[in-house]
Structure 1
């Protein structure tokens, strides 16, 4: 997990994570913190193991760590967070030893994490991101903008 730890220890990533925490400190709805990122990674990797999919653990974790980091730009500049996350990820991935192919896969999955797609890796991240939300225990359940049928009312995988 050398590349993932490189992202986690990157000063820019750490600063963005800090800023995101500050920007969301009063957020009533689900947050976008390191716990969320790791939940997405773990759900995705459990799915990979259970379904015997051929995705690298380190790629899954990199996508999860980076998929919502662009929310800082969304809050401060009005950018779409998935596009901003791709821009940030390009820079941070440049300081890792991921292969060119792995970097392309990571960026594509980050870009597609907000929509349903036929790309299997993107689909895995999209689904894991949704499953990571504990709606059944959420203080903002009644006020949440998610459609009722999309809310996780039970633990499922």
Structure 2
């Protein structure tokens, strides 16, 4: 099913949305919502799913990770929650990549939940939320003392356990 991820990545709007994020974040001092971040979230979510024996397909997990922040630019422009916007923008891409209606709903829900997953969130939403936090390079960040998120990120705790 890796073909669907390839279709997702080749969709003209995918990299358009990432370029919009990049345009808005040119002067951002903190973590950016770029291709590297999306890929890291997808990979970490997949690793977590394997470790925790969450039975979801790799292409489902990767789709959620690769799409979870595509609407971030809109939040900069309008103040809308980027998780909600990202889910709206992701639907067309998922449809074009061949995801079924049920798969789309699963992925879109996870995208909407990725900022504040709770015990009531879907397993995929919880994975993407946790992977999003773990993807942050807080441990080696030059501006972590000024970042409101650095205390909340579990990056250092996670990697120092090993």
Do they fold alike, i.e. is TM over 0.5?
Answer: yes
Residues paired across the two proteins, number: 157
Q: Verify the 8 A CA contact 1:70 1:85 in the aligned structure 2.
A: yes
The alignment partner of 1:153 has SS state of: helix
Single out whichever of 45-54 and 145-154 deviates more from structure 2: 145-154
Partner of 1:148: 151
Partner residue of 2:58?
57
| Shift of residue 51, structure 1, vs aligned partner | 2.4
Which runs of no fewer than 5 residues in structure 2 stay unpaired? none
Q: How does 1:31-110 map to 2 (within 5 A)?
A: 31-110=32-111
Give the aligned partner of residue 140 of structure 2.
Answer: 137
1:8 aligns with 2:9: yes
Question: In structure 2, the residue corresponding to 1:94 is in which secondary structure?
Answer: helix
Displacement after TM superposition at 1:139 (Å): 1.2
| Match runs of 1:13-28 below 5 Å | 13-28=14-29
Instruction: Tell me how far 1:151 sits from its aligned partner.
Output: 5.3
Q: Could you say which residue in structure 2 is the equivalent of 1:113?
A: 114
What's the CA shift for 1:2?
1.4
The CA deviation at 1:99 is 1.6
Gap regions ≥5 residues in structure 1: none
1:112–1:122 CA contact under 8 A, matched in 2: yes
TM-score scaled by length of structure 1: 0.92
Q: Distance in 2 between matches of 1:155 and 1:147?
A: 14
Deviation per residue, 1:17-41 (Å, 9 max, x gap)? 1121121121100111010011111
Deviates more, 1:91-100 or 1:57-66: 91-100
TM-score w.r.t. the length of structure 2 is: 0.90
Q: Deviations over 1:63-88 (max 9, x none)?
A: 01111111111112221101110110
Preserved CA contact (<8 Å) 1:136 1:154: no
**Residues 41 and 61 in structure 1, CA contact (< 8 A), matched pair in contact too:** yes
Cα shift at 1:101 = 1.3
CA distance in 1 between counterparts of 2:97 and 2:29 reads 35
Determine if contact 2:134/2:154 at 8 Å carries over to the other structure: no
Q: Does 1:123 align with 2:126?
A: yes
